[in-house]
Amino acid sequence: MIIEKKIYPQYFEEVLNGNKTFELRLADWDCQKGDTLILKEWDPETKDFTGRVVEKEIGYVLKFKPNQLSFWSAEDVEKHGLQIISLK
């Protein structure tokens, strides 16, 4: 499946240069390993696409809801937040 999504310029640039190898997204759409994710750079100031596009293959998908995080208490998550870590 081919999926198109907007991405802000600062994140687009990091994906483009290979530093950002993950996406954190609201799980209001379906995707799976092997799908193609087309990220279209979106400028929030002009409220328009810039014309730059990057295409990536989806390698791993983890979907969860905050109450499913049994590793940590809700208080700890609220206090510290969460971080997504990319592995190479």
Amino acid 3: pLDDT? 97
Domains of the chain: 2-63 (2.30.130.30)
Amino acid 69: pLDDT? 78
Amino acid 29: pLDDT? 95
pTM for the complete prediction? Answer: 0.85
Query: Mind listing the pLDDT tens digit of every residue in the chain (88 residues)?
Result: 999 999 999 999 999 999 999 999 999 999 999 999 999 999 999 999 999 999 999 999 999 887 787 888 888 988 998 888 887 7
Name the DSSP letter for residue 33: T
Any residues with CB less than 8 A from the CB of 81 and at least 6 apart, and which?
none
Amino acid 84: pLDDT? 85
Q: Are 37 and 73 in contact (CB under 8 A)?
A: no
Amino acid 22: pLDDT? 95
H helix or E strand, kind and range, residue 41 = strand 36-43
